[in-house]
Amino acid sequence: MSDTHAAAGASATSATDGVHRVRVLLYSDDITTRDAVRAAAGRRPDRDVEISGWHECATAEAVIEAMDAGGVDVVVLDGEAAPVGGLGLCRQLKNEIFRCPPILVLTGRPQDAWLAGWSLADDAVPHPLDPIAVAEAVSRLARERVAGG
């Protein structure tokens, strides 16, 4: 994986209207989990955050290809995905990509928060997914991405 592409590929924008427009990469091998995350975040997870596009991946290889291509502002990884879990994938991305976009991991349960810390994730939400927690986390990470350039 290239470690020089991420900064140049960022697409987060903050328009004059104060709305942060971001592209989200979503990884889970389970389509119902992907559907739940998209439904929770919606197109506008908060007044000042708009998701301009989703890039869904069902395999770790597809995530790596998408990250290499750039243009991702926020990443959501399912820690319960198989055969490659989102927690290990998160750690790999954080260690290999310069200025890696912020990553939200979905953990198996609230007690797995320590695993999110190990994975170097920027935030975590446990299963079963709380739509409000997902929307708030995506919004927070989108604002961080835009603020960080």
The answer to whether 6 and 99 have CB atoms below 8 angstroms apart is: yes
CATH number at residue 31: 3.40.50.2300
* Global confidence as pTM: 0.90
Q: Pick the closest to residue 8 from 65, 89, 71 (CA basis).
A: 71
Q: Where are the beta strands (DSSP E) in the chain?
A: 13-14, 20-27, 49-57, 74-78, 103-107, 123-126
Domain range enclosing 35: 5-148
Q: What is the pLDDT of residues 3-45, one digit of tens each?
A: 333 433 446 665 568 899 999 999 999 999 999 999 999 999 9
Domain count, the chain: 1
Separation of alpha carbons 114 and 122, rounded Å: 12
DSSP state of 26: E
Q: What is the pLDDT of residues 85-121, one digit of tens each?
A: 999 999 999 999 999 999 999 999 999 999 999 999 9
